[in-house]
Amino acid sequence: MKQRILIVEYDARIALMLFMRLKAANYETRLAANAVEAMSIAKRDCPDLIVLDISLPGGNGFLVAEWLRDLKETAGVPIIFMTASQKPGLREEAGEYRPAAFLEKPFDAKEL
């Protein structure tokens, strides 16, 4: 069975690049462009991993991560945060959610 990955990214170019890279690596991938879509897809599909942008329309990635941690179906799903923000302390704030990784945009897709 293929591992399922949910990519939550509002920038269509980045989302497509990640989608194609992960699909080529034989992962089953889903895309969400905002917080509401992300929560709906995560609850329905129970992914094995979530790649989550911190800045999203409809709510930020930290709110999504908090909701995912509180939901029984997704409480243990690893999250990789990604962001283009240079806001001081953002990495530390993300660390409170115990992510599997933290990627700063732009990043090399091989790094993912």
Kindly report, residue by residue over 19-78, the tens digit of the pLDDT.
Answer: 999 999 999 999 999 999 999 999 999 999 999 999 988 778 999 999 999 999 899 999
- Rounded to the nearest integer, the mean pLDDT of the chain is 90
pTM (2 d.p.): 0.90
Domains of the chain: 4-104 (3.40.50.2300)
CB 58 within 8 A of CB 35: yes
pLDDT in tens, 92-102: 989 888 999 99
Q: Averaged over 11-22, what is the pLDDT?
A: 92
Paired tokens of 86: 């240079």
Q: What is the pLDDT of residue 26?
A: 95
Report percent pLDDT > 90 for the chain.
65
Q: What is the pLDDT of residue 89?
A: 84
Contact 29, 62 (CB under 8 A): no
pLDDT of 109: 67
